[in-house]
Amino acid sequence: MKTFTNKLRQDIIKMIHNAKSGHPGGAFSCVDILAVLYKKVLNVPVEWDKSIDFNKRDRFVLSKGHASTALYATLAHCGFFPVNMLMSFRMLGSKLQGHPSSRAQLPGIEVSTGSLGQGLSIGVGMALALRLDKNETSKVFVLLGDGEMQEGSVWESLMNANNQKLNNLIVIIDKNELQIDGRTCDIKSLEPLDEKLKAFGFSVYSIDGHNYDEIEHTLLEAKNSNKLCAIIANTIKGKGVSFMENNAGWHGKAPNDEQLAKALEELNV
């Protein structure tokens, strides 16, 4: 898995370097979660909508749409579309838009996101649709950033999820504790996040968001649980590249040639 995620991180940083813009920090904090999700947890056909089992797939919503490179790299390396498409990221006419776009019809992309705080409401709607269709096979996974939880509509949808008793919805929070302007606890603290989620009716797991076994074990437990589950994944923004780790400055910045070389060297282990 480590070899796989190193490859994903290499492609993420190459995509952002090539596009001269993008969001490496938040992509690196959640890419381990995405890798485990797509390799071990989600039941999604790589043939995408050509699959006869398309309706039975699990749904995934990347609410923190700026981490699009992490999702694109994961999908490409899982076979949803050719890896050589990755370098079209952010280019005119590309299916790999700056933020995920269902309009662009890239296989594997379920919903459009980018404006923060909207993915969970969408996930709740998808979970309700599955329930109406009596689809008990599919589950809905929504990955949020912790910073985005400052958006009030996230709490509206947490309330709704509990009110609707959605046992087919799994909320994952990439808690990297940094946002554009600095530390989340300094800007607008979410703490105590676990207590808040419990008060909103969730069964809360707190895990190391870079420990593959822990991610897999917890996601599978949540997937098979009959309760409304939230997983707080404690992560490091910029994880994997020393000079990007825990540095809010790398939220939305592309590396120069030298920085790219250094990053690739660190990731080539």
Partner 1 sequence: MFSKNIEIKSPRNVYGDTLVELGAKNPNIVVLDADLSCSTQTCRFAKAYPERFFNCGIAEQDMMGTAAGLAYGGKTVFASTFAMFATARCLDQIRNTICYSKLDVKIVATHGGITVGEDGASHQALEDISYMRSIPDMKVIVPGDCEEVKQVIEYAANTPGPMYIRIPRTNLKSVFSEEYKFNPATGVKVKEGNDITIVTNGETLYEVIEASKKLQEVGIEAEILHYPVVKPFKHIALKQSVQKTGKVVVVENHSIIGGLGSAVCESLCEHYPARVYRIGTKDTFGQSGEQRQLMEFYGLTDKKIYEKIIEFMDVK
Residue selected from 30, 33, 111, 229 as contacting partner 1 according to rule CB under 8 A: 111
Nearest to 124 by CA among 174, 175, 159: 159
Q: Round to whole Å and give the CA distance between 117 and 122.
A: 10
Distance of CA 169 to the CA centre of its chain: 15
Residue selected from 127, 171, 207, 260 as contacting partner 1 according to rule CB under 8 A: 127
Are 107 and 80 contacting, i.e. CB atoms less than 8 angstroms apart? yes
179 makes contact with partner 1 (CB under 8 A): no
What phi and psi, each to the nearest 5 degrees, are found at residue 100? Answer: -55, 135
Distance of CA 160 to the CA centre of its chain: 21
Residue selected from 15, 27, 78, 126 as contacting partner 1 according to rule CB under 8 A: 126
Residue selected from 103, 165, 183, 227 as contacting partner 1 according to rule CB under 8 A: 103
Up-side HSE of residue 165: CA atoms within 13 Å toward CB? Answer: 1
128 makes contact with partner 1 (CB under 8 A): yes
Residues 58-97 that bind partner 1 (CB under 8 A): 59
Smallest separation (angstroms) from partner 1 to the CB of 138? 10
43 makes contact with partner 1 (CB under 8 A): no
110 makes contact with partner 1 (CB under 8 A): yes
Q: Which range binds partner 1 by CB under 8 A, 8-16, 128-136, 177-185, 213-221? A: 128-136
- Tell me the sheet residues that pair with 203: 229
Are 113 and 158 contacting, i.e. CB atoms less than 8 angstroms apart? no
Q: Which range binds partner 1 by CB under 8 A, 125-133, 191-199, 210-218, 259-267? A: 125-133
Nearest CB to partner 1, comparing residues 140 and 236: 140
Cis peptide before 192 (omega within 30 of 0): yes
Q: Which range binds partner 1 by CB under 8 A, 4-12, 46-54, 102-110, 181-189? A: 102-110
- Tell me the sheet residues that pair with 229: 170, 203
Residue selected from 79, 98, 107, 114 as contacting partner 1 according to rule CB under 8 A: 114
What phi and psi, each to the nearest 5 degrees, are found at residue 232? Answer: -90, 110
- Tell me the sheet residues that pair with 60: 141
Length of the chain: 269
Are 28 and 70 contacting, i.e. CB atoms less than 8 angstroms apart? yes
Smallest separation (angstroms) from partner 1 to the CB of 158? 9
Residue selected from 124, 219, 244, 248 as contacting partner 1 according to rule CB under 8 A: 124
Catalog residues that contact partner 1 under the rule CB under 8 A.
59, 101-103, 110-115, 117-118, 120-130, 132-133, 152-153, 156-157, 159-160, 163-164
